[in-house]
Structure 1
Amino acid sequence: MAIKALRIVTGLFFLVLGILGVLPSIEEGIFSLNNNNILLEQIFGVVEIICGLLLLAPLFTHASRQTLHRAALIVLIFWGVRIVLANFFFRAPPTDVAADAFWIWLLHLLAQALIAVSVWVMTKVYD
């Protein structure tokens, strides 16, 4: 039951994040990838919608454990790439640990890591 709840919440997170990424008039907040490139945000938005559907699909269909494992693994890899791009490529991490910007950056990174761990747990359940 706990994995099912985790699957629902994480799948809905990806769906909502993807919808916000596709609609250029709505800001994604801390999960924004690169506000200067709307096309990139929209491409990632479409992929995030697909990731959400991959995570939610097992609730409505019967799939093998191997298929569920692979789907969650694909989402995990995508999210890992997104974390690197958003936190290290498009925005350099602040170097001054005493500055407020560092702690805000770290909070965003930890929130994204929490999503990654949620998806990782789903990969392990079906491993």
Structure 2
Amino acid sequence: MKNKVLFSAIFMATWVGTLIPSAFAATPCSVGQKAEVLWKQAWYPATVLKVNDDKCYITYDGYDSSWNEWVGTTRFRVSFQVGDSVRILWKGKWYPGKVLQVYNNLYKITYDGYDSSWDEWVEPARVSR
């Protein structure tokens, strides 16, 4: 009986672990996310305003709204990389931390001053500079 319960627990943890990242992989961006957008062979900082399937409606930082546009994944890239210092939104408050990994538009982060048991995968809207 113990083996059956243990097997079930391992199976569920594995299944959920593969399901959750793939659920976020469908959209390339999140509202509020900071990113870079390719325009005429140069990358410009931008912020996501809306999301529709595989497109992101962005505003270019420092430009007026006449430049806002829908962009796809070929012109959109995440602006955080492994090792970047970031702020992470947790329960309505921002905490300092670092990016440990980037996977399918999700970030594995660590909080400054907290042990690794607090490390977690977060969606882009919860990460800021």
Where relative contact order (Cα < 8 A, 6+ residues apart) is larger, the structure is 1
Q: Do the structures match in fold with TM over 0.5?
A: no
What TM-score results when the alignment is normalised by the length of structure 2?
0.25
Query: Which protein shows a greater Rg?
Result: 2
Return the structure number with greater strand share.
2
What TM-score results when the alignment is normalised by the length of structure 1?
0.26
